[in-house]
Amino acid sequence: MEILQKLKESGVPENQAKVYLELFKKGSTSANELSKKVGLDRTLTYQILNNLIEKGLVNYIIKENKKFFETADPDNLLRPIKEKEKITDDLIKELRSIKILQENEQEVKIYEGKKGLMTFFNDIIHSKNICIFGATGRSYDVLKFEVPHIAKEAQKLGIKGRMIISKEYKGHPTTKLSNLKVGYLEEVKSPATTTIYEDKVGIHVLSDQPIIIIIKNKDVADGYRSYFNFLWKIAKR
Strands 66-71 and 107-112: unpaired
The answer to whether 109 touches 214, Cβ cutoff 8 Å, is: yes
Q: Three-state DSSP class for 17?
A: helix
Asked if 163 and 132 touch (Cβ cutoff 8 Å), the reply is yes
CB 224 within 8 A of CB 194: yes
| Distance (Å, whole) CA 26 – CA 186 | 70
β-strand partners of 166: 185
Per-residue model confidence (pLDDT) at position 139: 66
Q: Where in the chain is the domain with CATH 3.30.870.10?
A: 106-234
Q: Which pLDDT value is given to residue 140?
A: 62
pLDDT of residue 229: 93
pLDDT for res 182: 87
CA-based nearest residue to 222, from 203, 204, 196: 196
Is the whole model's pTM more than 0.75, yes or no? no
Q: Which of 3.30.870.10, 3.20.20.20, 3.10.50.40, 3.40.50.300 would CATH assign to domain 106-234?
A: 3.30.870.10
What lies within 8 Å, CB to CB, of 111 at 6+ separation is: 117, 119, 120, 211, 212, 214
- Predicted pLDDT of residue 131: 94
Q: From residue 130, how far is each of 76, 118, 211 by CA, in Å?
A: 44, 17, 20
Domain with CATH 1.10.10.10 in the chain: 3-78
Taking only the tens of pLDDT, the chain with its 237 residues reads: 588 788 778 778 888 888 888 888 888 888 888 888 889 888 898 898 888 888 888 888 888 888 899 888 888 887 777 777 888 888 888 777 766 655 556 788 999 887 888 888 888 888 889 998 887 766 666 676 676 777 778 778 888 889 888 877 777 766 777 788 888 887 666 778 899 999 999 998 877 788 899 999 988 999 999 999 998 998 887
The per-residue pLDDT for range 69-117, each reduced to its tens digit, is: 988 888 888 777 777 788 888 888 877 776 665 555 678 899 988 788 8
> Is 130 within 8 Å of 98 (Cβ atoms)?
no
Architecture of domain 3-78: Orthogonal Bundle (1.10)
What pLDDT is attached to residue 199? Answer: 92
Whole-number Å distance between alpha carbons of 26 and 70: 9
